Amino acid sequence: MTNGLTPGAPLQMFSEDEQMFRETVRKFAQERVKPLVKEMDEKGEVDRGLIQELFELGLMSVEIPEKYEGSEANFTSAIIVIEELSAVDPSIGVMVDVQNTLVNNAFMIWGSEAIREKYLPQLATEKIGAYSLSESGSGSDAFALQTTAREDKDSYVLNGRKMWVTNGADAEIFIVFASVDKSLGYKGITGFVVEKEFSGFSVGKKEDKLGIRASSTCELILEDCRVPKENILGEIGKGYKIAIETLNEGRIGIGAQMIGLARGALDCAIQYSQEREQFGKKISDFQAIQFSLAEMATQVEAARLMVYNAARLKDASMPFIKEAAMTKYFTSITAEKVASKALEVYGGYGYTKEYPAEKYFRDSKIGQIYEGTSNMQLMTIAKMLLS
C-alpha cells in the first residue's frame, strides 16, 4: 500500500523467518486470492483451484509435523497465515483457521498414532477437515448436544444432526461429537473421526449467510452412521475436554481473522481517502477523516498485540485461556467498529458492492458469534479473574 502504514506489529515481535513467511503469504493473498474474492462471495463457494494452491503452499498444514507431510511450523505461524489471508478475504481465512487450529491440532494432540498416520497426511496434502460440535438446540450450551453414539460390535452407530459446521460442504474428514451415554451428562461426550463416505453420513442444508459467504456453513445428518472404534478421538467420555481445549486455541485463530479483516478494511479506507476528492481536495486532507483513520489504526494495533501475545503464550506452553477469551472478545468488536468506520469513509459508495467496504462490514459480524459468543468470552474472563 502507499499509505506508509506497516501492516504488522513491531518487527522484534517476529523472527526473520516469520517475517519472510508473512511476506510470502501476503503476496499469495494479493496475487491469487484477491482477484477471486468478488466471484467467490457472489457464488457462495471457494474456488477449487485456490484450495489446491493452499495445500501446495503448506498453508493447510502449518503445524503438522514433516513426518506426516506437514510444514512443522509453530502456532504463531498459523496465526500469521490466518491474518494475512483474512486481510484479503475472511472466508479463506476461516477455512484455513478451522483446518489448522481446530482440526489438525485435535488430531495431533488427541489422536492415536494410527489416527495420526492415517489422517494427518491427508489433511496436509489434499483433504479439508471440519469440526462439528453445535446443534440446533446446543449453541453456547454446547454440552446439551443430542447426537448419540451407540456401541455395536466393532463400531459405534451415530444418530443426530449437527449445525453451523464451517467447511461443511468442502470437507471430507469430520470431527463429530456425540454422547455415548446421556445419563452421564458432559462426561458421556466423545469425539469421533467421521469420513464423508461413511454409510449413514450426509451433508444437509448449506446456510445462506450475511457474510463470509464463500465459507460453507452446513448441517450434517447422521442416520445410523457406522464409525469404527479405532476412529474414537482420544478416549470415551473425554470429548468435552477435547472440545474445550481445541476451542481455546481456535479463538486465537478467530482473533487473527478479525484483525486481518480490520486491517484490510483500514487499508482500503486509507487508499480511498487519498483518491476521493470533495470541495476541491482529497478527503484525507480533512481532519475529521484523519482522526477517524488514526482511531481505527490504533484499535487495530491494540487488537493485533493481543492476538500475538496469546499466540506466543500458547507456543511457550504457558496458560493462555483468559488471554484467548480476551482476544476473541476484543478483536471481534474491533473488527466490526473498524469495518463500519471504513464504510463511512467511502460514503455512499461504501454501501454498494462496487467497493470492498461493504463486504468487510458484512464479514465482521460473525466474529462476535461463532466459536463462543462475546457473552461467553466475558463469562470465561470473569470466572478466571475471580477464581
Asked if residues 336 and 262 have their Cβ atoms less than 8 Å apart, the reply is no
- Mapped onto helix, strand or coil, the DSSP state of residue 282 is strand
User: How far apart are alpha carbons 83 and 93 in whole angstroms?
Assistant: 7
Rg of the chain taking only CA atoms, in angstroms = 21
Q: Which residue has the cell 473488527?
A: 335
- Mapped onto helix, strand or coil, the DSSP state of residue 173 is strand
Asked if residues 25 and 96 have their Cβ atoms less than 8 Å apart, the reply is no
Known active-site residue 371: yes
* Beta-carbon contacts of residue 315 (< 8 Å; ≥ 6 apart): 74, 75, 76
The three cell numbers of residue 351 are 454501501
User: How far apart are alpha carbons 302 and 293 in whole angstroms?
Assistant: 14
Secondary structure of 210-240 in HEC code, one letter for each residue: CCCCCCCEEEEEEEEEEEEHHHEECCCCCHH
Angle at 372 between CA 360 and CA 264, to 5 degrees: 20
Q: Which of 203, 146, 199 is nearest to 172 (CA)?
A: 203
Q: Which of 71, 73, 62 is nearest to 100 (CA)?
A: 62
- Mapped onto helix, strand or coil, the DSSP state of residue 315 is helix
How many CB atoms are closer than 10 A to CB 277? 11
Q: Which of 74, 148, 110 is nearest to 308 (CA)?
A: 74
The three cell numbers of residue 295 are 482511531
User: How far apart are alpha carbons 286 and 304 in whole angstroms?
Assistant: 27
Region class of 119: left (phi > 0), else alpha (psi between -120 and 50), else beta: alpha
Q: Which of 135, 219, 336, 371 is catalytic?
A: 371
- Active-site residue set: 371
